[in-house]
Chains A and B, each alone.
Chain A
Amino acid sequence: GESVGLHLPTLSVQEGDNSIINCAYSNSASDYFIWYKQESGKGPQFIIDIRSNMDKRQGQRVTVLLNKTVKHLSLQIAATQPGDSAVYFCAENTSDMRFGAGTRLTVKP
């Protein structure tokens, strides 16, 4: 039967390829952004953040790009591994910390 539930954007990549997950935000005054990763059975975990005075920040295998002009964030994962399979959320610097639907990343071996 047809599954029902929240429509989650999905991204499926081959192991070893690079992944790009996109996020649009709404508040042009936001000055701090965070990416979280939620693995099955766990709570969301901080991956990387970026402040609005930057347009790029790199971590270990992850890079976040910020385009304030179009209010867009992206998370790039290099050499994607099976352990990267999860739901990824972006969040704006707001007092109430609400989350969108997230993006489900599936890594195919």
Chain B
Amino acid sequence: DAGVIQSPRHEVTEMGQEVTLRCKPISGHNSLFWYRQTMMRGLELLIYFNNNVPIDDSGMPEDRFSAKMPNASFSTLKIQPSEPRDSAVYFCASRELDPTSAFFGQGTRLTVV
């Protein structure tokens, strides 16, 4: 398995634009997590899904952020409109439903100018 795949690896966008981050979890993993990492706030959990269903989105900063998981092999995190303070590295991770170790993607470095 190629591991958790995120795209794009880097994204530079202008303030106000819509940004979509993508994640392909490891096949057979039932839980998927989205994180944001910054120097100021560390590694923050934004939202997680079990069996494609959002379980806890309390970490989503505000209504500008939304996440979907239309099927077991794909998830998106969308920011609309983007703001400079959204600049961060966004990680996706997946694991089996019964809590075990998680596998992280390489991350998407987002810069909003």
Task: Check B39–A97 contact: CB distance below 8 A.
Answer: no
| Interface status of A29 (Cβ within 8 A of chain B) | no
Given contacts A99-B42, A99-B43, A102-B42, A44 and B104 within 8 Å (CB-CB): yes
| Interface status of B102 (Cβ within 8 A of chain A) | yes
Task: Check A44–B48 contact: CB distance below 8 A.
Answer: no
Task: Check B106–A97 contact: CB distance below 8 A.
Answer: no
User: Out of A43, A95, A100, which one reaches B93, CB within 8 Å?
Assistant: A43
Task: Check B99–A94 contact: CB distance below 8 A.
Answer: yes
Chain B interface mostly: strand
Task: Check A32–B107 contact: CB distance below 8 A.
Answer: no
Per-residue interface assignment for chain B, residues 40 to 55, with 1 indicating a CB less than 8 Å from any chain A CB and 0 otherwise: 1111010010100001
Q: What band does the interface of chain B fall in when counting residues whose beta carbon is under 8 Å from A?
A: 20 to 34
Within 8 A of A (CB), among B69-113: 91, 93, 95, 99-107
Q: How far, in whole Å, are A100 and B39 apart by their CA atoms in the complex? A: 13
User: Out of A97, A100, A101, which one reaches B33, CB within 8 Å?
Assistant: A97
Q: Which residues of B contact A43 (CB under 8 A)?
A: 4, 91, 93, 104-107
Per-residue interface assignment for chain A, residues 8 to 52, with 1 indicating a CB less than 8 Å from any chain B CB and 0 otherwise: 100000000000000000000000101000000011111001000
Task: Check B107–A6 contact: CB distance below 8 A.
Answer: no
Q: How far, in whole Å, are A100 and B42 apart by their CA atoms in the complex? A: 8
Task: Check B33–A46 contact: CB distance below 8 A.
Answer: no
Task: Check A97–B107 contact: CB distance below 8 A.
Answer: no
Task: Check B102–A97 contact: CB distance below 8 A.
Answer: yes
Q: How far, in whole Å, are A4 and B40 apart by their CA atoms in the complex? A: 7
B39, B43, B45, B93: which has the most chain A beta carbons within 10 Å?
A: B43
